[in-house]
Structure 1
Amino acid sequence: MWGTIFNTGMILVGSALGALFKKGLGDKFQASLMQAIGLAVLLLGANTTVQAMPKSKYPVLFLASMAIGAMIGQALDLDTRFNNLMARAGGQSALAQGLSTAILLFCIGTLSIVGPMQAALNRDYTFLFTNGTLDLITAVVLASTFGFGIALAAPVLFLWQGAIYVLTLLVANAISTALLTELSVVGGILIFASGVNLLHLADVKTLNLLPALAVPPLFFIVLHFI
């Protein structure tokens, strides 16, 4: 868990630095920074998906994952629930958008998924230390636009990576490279959708799409018993 603790700490540090930097930024600079973040997120999501798709042995699985995930997410209305929670906590819609983007970036990236698995299986923290360094930079950029509230993504990341770590220990023999590939394809699409929102190209309710990440593991579980 040391890698996850490091990763979480880097988000907190980056959020604090970004919040301090925010005080010296005018509206025009913040708008430009928002566009820069949006473009970077688009590229990151597209790159993650494009790199993973050629390795996929189930080219239609990501389509089914997105469709099923969207239906489940819409039925649960996760996006509205999240925004209502932020409103009760005194948050603003801009912070809610920034925080949802931060959670997607910090949690859904390949390093954030594979890292805890490597730590659990091989005691290798390289991916998590690398991810923590990247998240430090990302947190600075996001917090300079949305404020210190981005730090709320830190405990989410800790729980996310902690859950993956524990689950990996429990089902070490059932995890395959194919599953990691499918998760990367779906995760890249979700990150891309977050970039679309930041650039105001469309109103994609990315939180309602999150259940799509649960479909590939369920698919491989079913496939194992067939």
Structure 2
Amino acid sequence: MLAQGSVVNAVVIIAGALLGMIIKGKLSERFKVIIMQALGLSVIIIGLSGTLSAIFRVSSDGTLENKDIMIMIIFLVVGSIIGEAINIEQKLNRFAEFIQKKIPGSGGNFSVGFVTATLLFCVGAMAIVGSLEEGLTGNADTLYAKSILDCISSFIFSATMGVGVLFSAIPVLLYQGSITLFAGALKPMLTPEVISQMSLVGNVLILGIGLNLLEIRSIKVANMLPAVFLPILYYLIRFLII
């Protein structure tokens, strides 16, 4: 079955969100706030640890060396310009508002839950690498492992942000499924260096999601999404020039 890992991932997100919605009404506002703060801190640590592990490596003499910092900055800036021009975040919000109108009593934070969960489930290294792995080898184990984590996350997020989290399963399925289906065509360009750079940018965006959850700064993470795929374009241009 094509993109089976993505289908399973979407189903467990829905299951986790449904369970979370059961307890949503039983949580007081102060508990929702502290849970969101705990989630924000956790997401920041995940993004930070992934970013630092990708940037720094231990050299043969035991000192730390950094790599890919300048290219990461370029990807983020150029990708953000592209995303801002397309205005991906606005389109996601409009899609969320469209769904919200179809669901009576879905609540005013539908869009926040939808966009936040969608970004968190899509930009991480496991989403990218797992989808590519399934498309190239047929092995969906990474996506199955991701599904367990996403199920827990969707449960917690829906308990605080509501039904919007449930509908994040739609873009997750489309996003990861598309990567899986097109992985064969992209195979020549998917060197370990390219995959590493894609994962690095994804982890930086996860850090941005954490900052948004803590309301430290409002960052348009969705408009930075094109940066995740710029390493492929960079490799292609470098290959054609060289």
Quick one: which of 89, 93, 106 aligns to 1:79? Answer: 89
Matched to 1:151, the amino acid is: L
Q: 1:173-194: per-residue Cα shift (whole Å, max 9, x none)?
A: 3311111111111111111111
Q: Which residue of 2 is the match for residue 14 of structure 1?
A: 16
Bigger Rg, structure 1 or 2? 2
Question: What runs of 5+ residues in structure 2 fail to find an aligned partner?
Answer: 58-65
SS in 1 for 2:79: helix
Q: In the TM superposition, what is the alpha-carbon distance from 1:57 to its structure 2 partner?
A: 5.4
Q: 1:135-187: per-residue Cα shift (whole Å, max 9, x none)?
A: 00010011001112211111111111111111112232331111111111111
Q: How many residues align?
A: 226
Query: How far apart, CA to CA, are the structure 2 residues paired with 1:93 and 1:205?
Result: 19
Query: How far apart, CA to CA, are the structure 2 residues paired with 1:68 and 1:103?
Result: 22
Q: In the TM superposition, what is the alpha-carbon distance from 1:93 to its structure 2 partner?
A: 5.9
- Name the TM-score, length of structure 1 as normaliser: 0.92
Query: How far apart, CA to CA, are the structure 1 residues paired with 2:16 and 2:240?
Result: 45
Task: Write out aligned runs for 1:1-226 (5 A).
Answer: 1-54=3-56, 58-88=68-98, 89-90=100-101, 94-226=109-241
Matched to 2:88, the amino acid is: L
Question: What runs of 5+ residues in structure 1 fail to find an aligned partner?
Answer: none
- Name the TM-score, length of structure 2 as normaliser: 0.87
Q: In the TM superposition, what is the alpha-carbon distance from 1:67 to its structure 2 partner?
A: 0.8
Of Structure 1 and Structure 2, which has the larger fraction of its residues in helix? 1
- Tell me: higher relative CO, structure 1 or 2? Use CA pairs within 8 A at least 6 residues apart: 1
SS in 1 for 2:146: helix
Q: Percent identity?
A: 29
